[in-house]
Amino acid sequence: MSSTASGKNGTWRNWGGNVAARPAREVAPASVEELAAAIRRAADDGLKVKAVGSGHSFTSIAATDGVLIRPQLLTGIRHIDREAGTATVEAGTPLKRLNVALAREGLSLANMGDIMEQTVSGATSTGTHGTGRDSASIAAQIKALELVTADGSVLTCSEKGTDEERAVFAAARIGLGALGVVTAITFAVEPIFLLSAREEPMPFARVLAEFDELWTENEHFEFYWFPHTGSTNTKRNNRSAGPEKPVGQLAGWFEDELLSNGVFQVAQWVGRAVPAAIPAIAQVSSKALSARTYTDIPYKVFTSPRRVRFVEMEYAVPREAVVETLRELKAMVERSGLRVSFPVEVRTAPADDITLSTASGRDSAYIAVHMVKGTPFQRYFTSAERIFTAHEGRPHWGKIHTRDAEYFAGVYPRFEEFTALRDRLDPDRLFQNDYLRRVLGA
């Protein structure tokens, strides 16, 4: 499901349909050398450069009127080092293909987000994450990176390199496309394992009261709260000795496709046509999914299909602030008269050492609010954002937010470290666009 196919007249649109751009030209390099040549040519022509993956960001982070780099020919696994426990992959490889290829080799990533349509470079560059008590975002699993910088040179970096390479590595794992075009990523991988998932409804009040225990007792805990209800659906994933007990094909189709996508899509249509019906629909939706447990290989447990198109805002708040933030969010929805038909998703991540990671230097909890594609989302998102920023929240780089460089300098202790590195690697701002101008400053 690539959403990056150009529309009419060479217009590029993202998956959520809320961002469009008309690049001067598109390039799909088949090698690192071709990519470097395309970057040098763009610089000679006075054009900016942006790479785009599968367009799953809701921000205009990949939009450009210059040269749009499509990485679809830069795919596949370059090298597996079983002794070191690493796999080096080309930047344009979709996570779905990576997961399947690793599984075939008896290997897996430690943690993943909840969808796998994105390219590895798009997912890591924007800070895509799942949920985890001990294991962090996809970018935090990177061991080495290769990128082409503004002068067309190829730079490799890891935590083992020179001081400069280590500084680049700290920043470029979540580089926002500001430091260069990533061409290959070396991930930490491990022998494939089994995860047992336990999904069950739980009252919102109970989840908040027991959040610390639920977080402590499970390797991967997340939940969805249905606005206008006191109900949540919780999911706990933990490593298992087996046996494998996948979701049956019929049950999987019924729960993942019919209920989670089909009935949910119909509910969204009804909600758009008759907003007043949304609270009643939410009561039904929140009770549609019953408890279930299943055991399977990691990517089949971490990820699920998302066929209903939406737009999204997500903020990371300090983990200790999550319960209070959620209480405020619930009170705001009840007070506002808003009609919210999409569940609120809550996940966690441990602190990491990546300069602009949303979990940089602090244990974090993520709160994501969604609206169906095509519905007005501004009032809901603005009200939610006011609550998130009061808790020093850090927005996901690929999801809707209104923050700027001044705000980020206040919530990221190492913000200036990133901008100083960008000054060194891209002094002429070849990789600049409107979004980067806003979030990093000119």
pLDDT digits (tens, 9 = 90+) for 248-261: 766 655 566 555 65
The confidence score (pLDDT) of residue 2 equals 38
Please, which residues have CB within 8 angstroms of residue 288's CB and are 6 or more apart in sequence? 259, 263
Task: For residue 341, report the phi and psi dihedrals to the nearest 5 degrees.
Answer: -95, -5
Q: How far apart are CA 95 and CA 106, in angstroms?
A: 16
| Residue 374 in this model has a pLDDT that exceeds 90 | no
Q: How far apart are CA 189 and CA 83, in angstroms?
A: 11
Q: How far apart are CA 109 and CA 184, in angstroms?
A: 16
Residue 34 β-bridge partners: none
- Among 13-22, 266-275, 424-433, top mean pLDDT goes to 424-433
Reduced 3-state DSSP string for 273-321: HCHHHHHHHHHHHHHHCCCEEEEECHHHHHCCCCCCCEEEEEEEEEHHH
pLDDT digits (tens, 9 = 90+) for 326-373: 999 999 999 998 989 889 999 999 999 999 999 999 999 999 999 988
Both tokens of residue 68?
């749009």
DSSP string covering 156-209:
EEETTS-HHHHHHHHHHTT-TTSS-EEEEEEEE-EE--EEEEEEEEEEHHHHHH
C-alpha angle 338-343-348 in degrees, rounded to nearest 5 = 120
Which amino acid is located at 107 in the chain?
A: L
Least confident of 4-18, 65-79, 422-436: 4-18
The confidence score (pLDDT) of residue 286 equals 62
Q: How far apart are CA 145 and CA 64, in angstroms?
A: 24
C-alpha angle 293-297-303 in degrees, rounded to nearest 5 = 75
Residue 342 β-bridge partners: none
Cα distances from 263 to residues 270, 282, 293, 367, 369, in angstroms, run: 11, 12, 21, 24, 20
Both tokens of residue 248?
């049956």
Give the global pTM.
0.92
Which amino acid is located at 5 in the chain?
A: A
User: Are 83 and 99 a contacting pair, CB within 8 Å?
Assistant: no
Q: With bands split at pLDDT 50, 70 and 90, how would you rate the model's confidence at 265?
A: low
Residue 248 CB neighbours (<10 A): 11
